[in-house]
Amino acid sequence: MSPIVNFLTKTRDTFQDALDDRRFHATVLEIADLVTASLRGGGKLLTIGNGGSAGDAQHIAGEFVSRLNFDRPPAAAIALTTDTSVITAIGNDYGYEHVFERQVLALGRPGDVLLALSTSGRSPSVLRAMDAARAIGVRIVAFTGATGGSMPERADLCLHAPSDATPLIQQVHITAAHIVCGLVEQNLFPRNAEK
């Protein structure tokens, strides 16, 4: 089997596993409901992750602030992966493991939701941010891989991509995020969706 066919086959099989997993579906719905309630109540979505997950965090925030499926008012979301001055100052002064924690403490408020992405579930910077969110009353959603590392016990809701392979986990994460965003759009802006 060629590398192309092999990767596409693994991708298909991973998505089939997600498709067959009713708990996966239920968790996506619960996450959409949690984010909807937060935004409806004047809260915001904070997104974090490292590497490819940082890119996903930015992508997800962009879908909320701009739009996904139809024109509608912006929804409050901030990717804490984008401010290089803040990230490098915290990394330099306190250590990289604090780069999201301090931003959560500065910007998070009770009623907000933190979406933490980590394919391994073991990233110190992400875990510390989750602990900070818990301490200040921010609800926590985790996107991780099959095992989840240390994320499940820290999260209110934890979505496990059915894989241990980083690229496949990331593909499931961005797809699940698109589903969540689409559901939130429909919940918050039903008249726009009808158009």
Binding residues for substrate: 50-52, 63, 92-93, 118-120, 123, 170
Residue 19 neighbours by CB under 8 Å, 6+ apart: none
Cite the beta strand spans of 105-171 per DSSP E. Answer: 113-117, 139-144, 157-160
DSSP symbol at 116: E
Distance CA 33, CA 93 (A): 38
Distance CA 140, CA 188 (A): 20
**Residues found in the chain:** 195
Q: Which residues are annotated as a binding site for Zn(2+)?
A: 59, 63, 170, 178
Instruction: Tabulate helix, strand, coil % of the chain (nearest 5).
Output: 60, 10, 30
Distance CA 60, CA 55 (A): 9
Q: Which residues are annotated as a binding site?
A: 50-52, 59, 63, 92-93, 118-120, 123, 170, 178
Tokens linked to 28 = 């996506």
Distance CA 171, CA 9 (A): 13
